[in-house]
Every structure is written in C-alpha cells, then in structure tokens.
Amino acid sequence: MVGIIDYNAGNIRSVERALAYLGLEYRISKKPAELEKADRLIFPGDGEARFAMRELRSTGFDSFIKDKVAAGTPLLGICLGTQIILSHSEESDTPCLGLVPGVVRRFPKDFPSRGLKVPHMGWNSLTTWNGGTALLEGVPADADFYFVHSYYIDPEDPKIVTAVTDYGMDVPCAVKFGSVEAFQFHPEKSGVPGLRILSNFARADFARGGASC
C-alpha cells in the first residue's frame, strides 16, 4: 500500500487522483500513525520551505519520515517534497529534514537578464545521469515533464543525481539516495510519462531495489 503524506503543503489531491487512475492501493493521511503500515511513501508538496517544515514538526511527520527511511521504506519526493529532504534551503534560510546531504538554492539572480523566467515553469525534457533510475523504466527518452519552482536542489554528492534538465544550466531534477528517490518536476501532472513513473514506484519489486536502467 502506498501512503501519501498530507502535511498541508498542497499538491496532495493531484497525486491521489493519479494513483486512483492507475488503480493502485493507497491511503492519504495527515496522521503518521495511519500510514505506519504503508510499504512505501509519497512525499509531495507545493509552497514555502519554512511553512512546510513547521507543518512536518507539528504533525510529527518529520520524525516519522526519518524513521521510515532509516528502516528502508521507499520514499518518493515530489517538488517541495524533494527540496526539503535535503539538509538546508536558501528559501527563508530553512533547516530541512537532512535525509539527503545538500542545499536547496535560489536560481541565479541574472536569470531574468538572460531571458530565463523565475519561477521556472513549464515543460522540459530530462537527461539521465549516473545510470538514471529504474523509475524511468519505460519512459521515452524525449518525454517532457512539468516543472514549477524558483529553487533547485544541489546535492552534496553529484553521483546521486539521476537526471538533470536544461534551464540555463544543468538543473538537478532527480536524485536517488538509499531508499529515497525524488523528482523536482511533477510526475502526477506530466501525463503518461509521469504516470509511468508513479506506476514503477508502486511495483512490488521496487521495494527490494528493482533493476536499474
């Protein structure tokens, strides 16, 4: 069963609708205890880092997520849920969960003068790095995914980056670190390719590591 973590940070219902469309067993909850039996977790979110971390602490999801990941439970981060698994965010100078060593950085200040809008919003393709990830298995190489973000992830170890997108620079947009995988884009809003990612994540063999692509 897939557990969807609802911590009042938005983007929850679109993930729920995607899993329902795929016919997957899931449970969405604001209470950690109700997701204790989930064999994998989706950690979505839109919004601001400091607010999100405050909500995680007030609900107990901060320690719940850390404990589940420490126990090897697969966790899929999406958008803000990807950013706040890192150590720190430049957004409001926010200490984050620290599941993945690294910093969330604001796009460079010169982007507007270079004709690059912030937030980065729209459809972009991916380039796989470091062997990619099994979650992209069956996804066409030229597939586009939907992005909307003003900050980007900068992991301490570039070897954990599994995909980047080109937006004025190589923007890390997918990482794999232990049982944690995370995407800056929105699979649940990215049509058939995004649904394939969610379906891959829900596969029974993914919890055992699956096969890398």
Q: What is the pLDDT of residues 182-197, one digit of tens each?
A: 999 999 999 999 999 9
CA angle (160 as vertex; 156, 166 as ends), nearest 5: 90
Q: Distance between CA atoms of 125 and 83, rounded to whole angstroms?
A: 20
User: What is the maximum span of the chain, computed from C-alpha positions, in angstroms?
Assistant: 50
| Model confidence at 212: pLDDT above 60 | no
Fill in the amino acid letter for 144.
Answer: D
Determine the average pLDDT of the residues in 1-18.
92
Q: Which helix (H) or strand (E) holds 16?
A: helix 12-21
- CATH tag for 2-208 (out of 3.40.50.880, 3.40.50.720, 3.60.40.10, 3.40.50.2300): 3.40.50.880
Considering 96, 149, 173, 186, which one is annotated as catalytic? 186
Q: Distance between CA atoms of 4 and 44, rounded to whole angstroms?
A: 8
Residue 91 is among the residues annotated as catalytic for this protein: no
Fill in the amino acid letter for 86.
Answer: L
Fill in the amino acid letter for 147.
Answer: F
Residue 149 is among the residues annotated as catalytic for this protein: no
Residue 25 is among the residues annotated as catalytic for this protein: no
Contact 46, 82 (CB under 8 A): no
Contact 173, 184 (CB under 8 A): yes
Determine the average pLDDT of the residues in 78-93.
98
pLDDT band for position 204 (cuts 50, 70, 90): low
Q: Which helix (H) or strand (E) holds 87?
A: strand 86-89
Position 11 scores a pLDDT of: 79
Considering 55, 79, 120, 173, which one is annotated as catalytic? 79
Domain ranges of the chain: 2-208
Q: Distance between CA atoms of 106 and 114, rounded to whole angstroms?
A: 16
Considering 55, 91, 181, 188, which one is annotated as catalytic? 188
| Model confidence at 208: pLDDT above 70 | no
Reported as a single tens digit per residue, the pLDDT across 106-140 is 999 999 999 999 999 999 999 999 999 999 999 99
Name residue, tokens 């990807």.
82
